Amino acid sequence: MASSYDSYTQNRELSWLQFNKRVLDEACDDSVPLYERLKFISIFTSNLDEFFMVRVGSLTDLALVAPTAMDNKSHLTPQEQLDLVYDAVRPLIQQRDAVYAQVMASLAERGVVERRCADLTDEESEHMDQLFETAIRPFLSPVVVDPRHPFPHLENKKLYIAVLLCDAETCRLGLVGIPSQVPAFVPLPSSAGFVRIEQIVLAKVGALYNEREIVDCCIMAVTRNADLTEDEEKFDDEDLDYRKFMSQLLRKRNRLNPVRLEIQGNACNDLRDMVLDRLGLGVEQTYVCQTPLVLDSVYSLEGRIPADMRAELCYVPFSPRSSAVFSKDRSITEQIKESDKMLFFPYDSIDPFLTLLKESASDPAVVSIKITLYRLASNSRIASILCDAAENGKEVTVLVELRARFDEKNNIGWSERLEEAGCCILYGPDSYKCHSKVCLITRMEEGRAVQITQVGTGNYNEKTSKIYSDLSFFTADPAIGWDAVAFFQNMLVGNLQGQYHKMLVAPSNMHQKLCELIEQQTKLGSQGSISIKCNSLTERSVIDALVRASRAGVRIRMNIRGICCLRPGIPRVTANISVRSVVGRFLEHARIYCFGQGQQARVYIGSADLMTRNLRRRVEVLVPILDEQVKAGLQEYLELIFADTLKARLLQPDGSYVPVLPSAGSSTAEGVAVSAAASPQGFSVQAWCMDHPLLCPAVPEQERQEGQGLGQEASPGHDSDVAWGQSQGAACALGPGDAEGLGQDGMADRGGKGGLLRVIRRLLGLRG
């Protein structure tokens, strides 16, 4: 029985594994195109790799240095958490094996065939033998571990063939690294079939160890702790080159301690134990599977899909539309000065922001551009424009966060290029990652400074703007502008406790202000309302504040894509809290915080999740949405995401998630009765947003006609960068029992047009 200590909270790591299971569930969804299901398996795998490298790596370290430390939400020690994680991962690996086999079998029926060497024809085997001798074998370096040849360093997530070699006297361990110089798979001539490079080396390993008997062999990979924690004392040295130090730190990542051994196939215990002994790992840290251990190559398989099969196997191509909030024929700057604007990625194009930067880079009235950069695209147009601005004589200040995990190398390279172009480069404050997304453009007009401020929920990254659901807010509000001025001035001098009038900034005032906003709603009791969309909730004090609000009768709705350490629906405790998660084609990444209802609501967007690290150990910014039209658009969007029944999952009191299914006998937009059991289709917020611009002024009535575009396929186009999930069109099949969260509160009627809510309610078959 749960104690009062953790009666309404759950462990962070186990909650994250539930999130990754929801990713894997997309791969299990028969309504998702086959090739997109394969991508979801790859995403699940890379997510799990990073989880072991970072979270399991951190817990492993903590178990050594603070073995009795307890998590404040589950009251578990580091080792207890690790034991639960090890056990929780095993059924996920089994589920992945099953769905991978199913997907590959279905793809094989359509001409995309993954072959094993043993199944090749004589002609194909001859081709593979020749290729092995000429293009693979020259890159192989087989090793036998013995007194003269010590156990080599095994690189993080690199594939190896492990071999048990025996002769009359002894058994030895052999290792062959799979070379990175050759492609991940080899296409077979005259077919859409392919063979993975590790399978070729596995089949030919006998040719590399011809003097010993091979008793057993398998494909394996080691996962290493990648949680690089910089030595804070080093930052007290004024002569330290921080960029050089981070470069040196990165080189340590591949040599950190192992935390997991993966084996593909069925290795005998002797071979497995020999490897584990050398790595210092236990059996509980070993995972045996049938799925390939590295699946990054699935994205390159698209070229192997027959042209006549792509419409069936892939999602309909989608390209971001030109935003309706900006006119292409007028200056972006002037339009922002007239009224606040909002872009909604990936549905809107990032082009207006790029145009704003281009205008500012050459506008004589612009004095300076200041921006925070966390994750840049490898070929960043944003960074190139900043370089142009500096070369044009603008004062360009760029706060680059070199500690953005797994993007450190890219950020180091861009910081060097920006500095060479004349930009003033600074790095995140000691011990605090700068995760905020703020851009400040200062103009001189009629002898006074005028600010254009942009605040976003996602990175300044052209690639992710096409696959992440994010918001980008633009304003010429003087109060917000002066807060942005103070923000950059504080960052330049390392002041983390600056004073701000409108913006919420961590670690200065954000945590306190958010708790105060929750408390204000708590005082309203059943008249209070809180709607939150974010990626994770782990901060204990915020969880406790939400529980107090729930006990007071406040209605709390949260869409939390990833970790949620709060357990909703517990009688008399969290009964007034509902939590859902949407996982679909696009990665839900926007953070929206809405306190109250209607025009009186206080709405914020920005970079911060409700995590301890965001509120206490990072530099984050939330900006208030003061423009009534933009605010109404965000409130409409919240209603839509809480109405999703196709991709949403509901968090249960026990920490599990269940699908949101339409009620039996509910009606589609055309009024046709549909049985939920007979049709898995429902309402998808992502499908809706692909066809309906939300955050724009006075949308014509015809764009809001009942059912128009709902669940229809996206407009033609091609985006080769899209890697997150898939897009499912769906007819609306909601019934009254599934309309949780829909109501007139918080919805604005735009210009007498009737508002989006009325359309939704008609689609749902509701009155009023």
The structure tokens listed for 737 are: 């029992």
Q: Cα(415)–Cα(396) distance, rounded to whole angstroms?
A: 12
CA distances from 292 to 32, 41, 709 (A): 21, 11, 39
Active site residue 501: no
- Short-list 3, 2, 18, 14, CA closest to 81: 14
Residues near 569 by Cβ (< 8 Å), separated by ≥ 6? 575, 577, 578, 651, 652, 653
Torsion of CA 301, 302, 303, 308, to 10 degrees: 130
DSSP code of residue 460:
S
Q: Which of 435, 511, 589, 692 is catalytic?
A: 435
- Short-list 422, 199, 394, CA closest to 291: 199
| Cα distance from N-terminal residue to C-terminal residue, the chain | 44
- Number of H helices and number of E strands within the chain? 20, 28
Q: What is the 3-state secondary structure (H, E, C) of 537-583?
A: ECCHHHHHHHHHHHHCCCEEEEEECCCECECCCCCCCCCCEEEEEEC
Radius of gyration of the chain (CA): 27
Residues near 48 by Cβ (< 8 Å), separated by ≥ 6? 20, 89, 92
The structure tokens listed for 610 are: 């409700």
Q: For the chain, give the longest Cα–Cα distance.
A: 92
Q: Cα(337)–Cα(325) distance, rounded to whole angstroms?
A: 13
Q: Cα(553)–Cα(522) distance, rounded to whole angstroms?
A: 8
- Short-list 529, 435, 483, 507, CA closest to 626: 483
Q: What is the 3-state secondary structure (H, E, C) of 709-768?
A: CCCCCCCCCCCCCCCCCCCCCCCCCCCHHHCCCCCCCCCCCCCCCCHHHHHHHHHHCCCC
- Short-list 517, 525, 490, CA closest to 505: 490
Contact status, residue 730 vs residue 767, Cβ threshold 8 Å: no
The DSSP H or E segment spanning 272 is: helix 269-279
Distance of CA 519 to the CA centre of its chain: 30
CA distances from 21 to 34, 223, 298, 644, 728 (A): 18, 20, 20, 19, 19
Burial 236-266 (b: 16+ CB within 10 A, else e): eeeeeebbebbeebbeebeebebbbbbbbee
Neighbours of 477 (CB within 10 A): 19
Q: Cα(34)–Cα(19) distance, rounded to whole angstroms?
A: 21
DSSP code of residue 690:
H
With left for phi above 0 and alpha for psi between -120 and 50, is residue 503 left, alpha or beta? Answer: beta
With left for phi above 0 and alpha for psi between -120 and 50, is residue 422 left, alpha or beta? Answer: left
Q: Cα(452)–Cα(478) distance, rounded to whole angstroms?
A: 9
Sign of the Cα torsion 483, 484, 485, 490 reads positive
Peptide bond into 697 cis (omega under 30): no
Residues near 307 by Cβ (< 8 Å), separated by ≥ 6? none
Residues annotated catalytic, as ranges: 435
